[in-house]
Amino acid sequence: MRLRTFLLLFVVIVLLAIVAVLVYVRFAGGSVAGITPGDTIAPIGEQPSETPSEPGLPPPTATPATRYLNVVVADRPLPIGTILRPEILRYEIRPDSNIALQGGYVFTDIEEVTGRMVKTEVAPGQAILAPMLALSTTDLAAFGSDLALYVDQGKVAVAFPINRYTGAAYAMRPGDNVDVLMSLPIVALDPEYNTKLPNVAQRVDDLALAEGRTFLFPETLEGRLELIDQLDLVGEVSGPLSTQEGSKSTQVQRRATQLTIQQATVLWVGTWRDPRELAAQAAAAAAAAELAAQNSDIPVPTPTPLPERLDATPDVIILSLPAQDALALKWSLERGVYITLALRSPGDATVFSTVTVSLPQMVEQGALRIPEREDYGIEPSMRDLEFPTLDESEAP
């Protein structure tokens, strides 16, 4: 047999043997020489250790799986002083290996930060961290006016004068919500002169004017032309020139009262005081009390904490409200409209739908019955009475 034929036959036999082994492994359940799927095969040259670990060392532990948590982040750019609200926040998933998450600086619930104020600028998608939130007004002293930081975005702060009647008896405190009630005294105007009717006129005596004498008749109110039966002539009838001191009109005002502004936020009651100044005064008072206690055997009482409002009888209140409402309030103040603040219940977000209250409206709805004319009355007249009022100088 030739050498080439022998080599070819040898190769064929080897190939047949390999094929036979593969067929056997497939039909024998997938194991060869005790090796099954899922077993770890040690690389060549490495022998498996007979012990799980070296003596003196703890057994190896499995690496824990990574967990993902919802983290509160900004949904839009937040400038300094922004009050956090749910609509400007959102959730993003972060791994528990995050350093801020491990340190406890992040928040996983939007309600935890709602109503809090940021003292740094926050970019969209940036997590809200605990150090970003202001603790008090003094915590924001380096960023401009302390009070301005409590004005919500899209609103303005306006100072409004109050007394015990218009200011809910001084019961309001920062954070309260109030509604603004306005009563407008309405009068008819002359369309040409834009003055209150009836007009005041002085008649001219033509004959006296021609003779050089005093030619003006006394002032009178323009009235209406009526037929005077006794004289059978048409004459002008008008009311008295003055019904009260300084007035030249007999026109009775028509008053209408309406709820005009709702849910204005009280930022401060009384004149604004810098919290840093108040804190410095409190610290100085505490230091003086401590020094006095060291130099005396008489016990010194603990200083009273600073109140939220220092004015005992405030004459002004600072409100936060939309710009359009601020314009309405300013116009009303300058026009002498009677304004009263109504205190709201905490958390009440009701939007009232009201109807303007006036005398005709109350009569038409049956809320008021006009009394019939009587042939008798009580003296003195109501015009001569002085109604009891509380002297503001006696306020506590």
pLDDT at 29 over 50: no
* C-alpha to C-alpha distances, 249 to 12, 193, 235, 245, nearest whole angstrom: 133, 15, 20, 11
The more confidently predicted of residues 35 and 61 is 61
How many residues are recorded in the chain? Answer: 396
CA distance 290 to 50: 75
The more confidently predicted of residues 303 and 86 is 86
pLDDT at 33 over 70: no
pLDDT category at 90 given cuts 50, 70, 90 is very high
* Percent of the chain at pLDDT exceeding 90: 23
Average pLDDT taken over every residue of the chain: 76
**pLDDT value of position 225:** 64
Lowest mean pLDDT among 51-60, 209-218, 371-380: 51-60
Lowest mean pLDDT among 43-52, 200-209, 322-331: 43-52
Rounded to a whole number, what is the distance in angstroms from the first to the last CA of the chain? 134
Between the ranges 76-85, 276-285, 381-390, where is the mean pLDDT highest? 76-85
**pLDDT value of position 324:** 95
Q: Are 122 and 93 in contact (CB under 8 A)?
A: no
Residue 31, burial from CB neighbour count under 10 angstroms (0-12, 13-18, 19+) = exposed
Mean pLDDT to the nearest integer, 231-245? 60
Give 274-330 pLDDT, tens digit per residue.
Answer: 666 666 677 777 777 777 767 666 554 554 444 455 567 899 999 999 999 999 999
pLDDT category at 31 given cuts 50, 70, 90 is very low
CA distance 81 to 15: 82
Q: Are 140 and 134 in contact (CB under 8 A)?
A: yes
CA distance 161 to 170: 12
* C-alpha to C-alpha distances, 119 to 136, 142, 145, nearest whole angstrom: 10, 9, 12
pLDDT category at 237 given cuts 50, 70, 90 is low
CA distance 164 to 110: 40
CA distance 74 to 120: 12
Q: Which of 36, 32, 128 is nearest to 82 (CA)?
A: 128
pLDDT at 46 over 50: no
Lowest mean pLDDT among 65-69, 166-170, 211-215, 216-220: 216-220
Q: Which two tokens stand for residue 14?
A: 């080897």
Between the ranges 3-7, 192-196, 312-316, where is the mean pLDDT highest? 312-316
Domains of the chain: 68-135 (3.90.1210.10), 155-186+254-356 (no CATH), 200-237 (no CATH)
Instruction: Tell whether pTM > 0.75.
Output: no
pLDDT at 128 over 80: yes
Q: Which two tokens stand for residue 85?
A: 């609200």
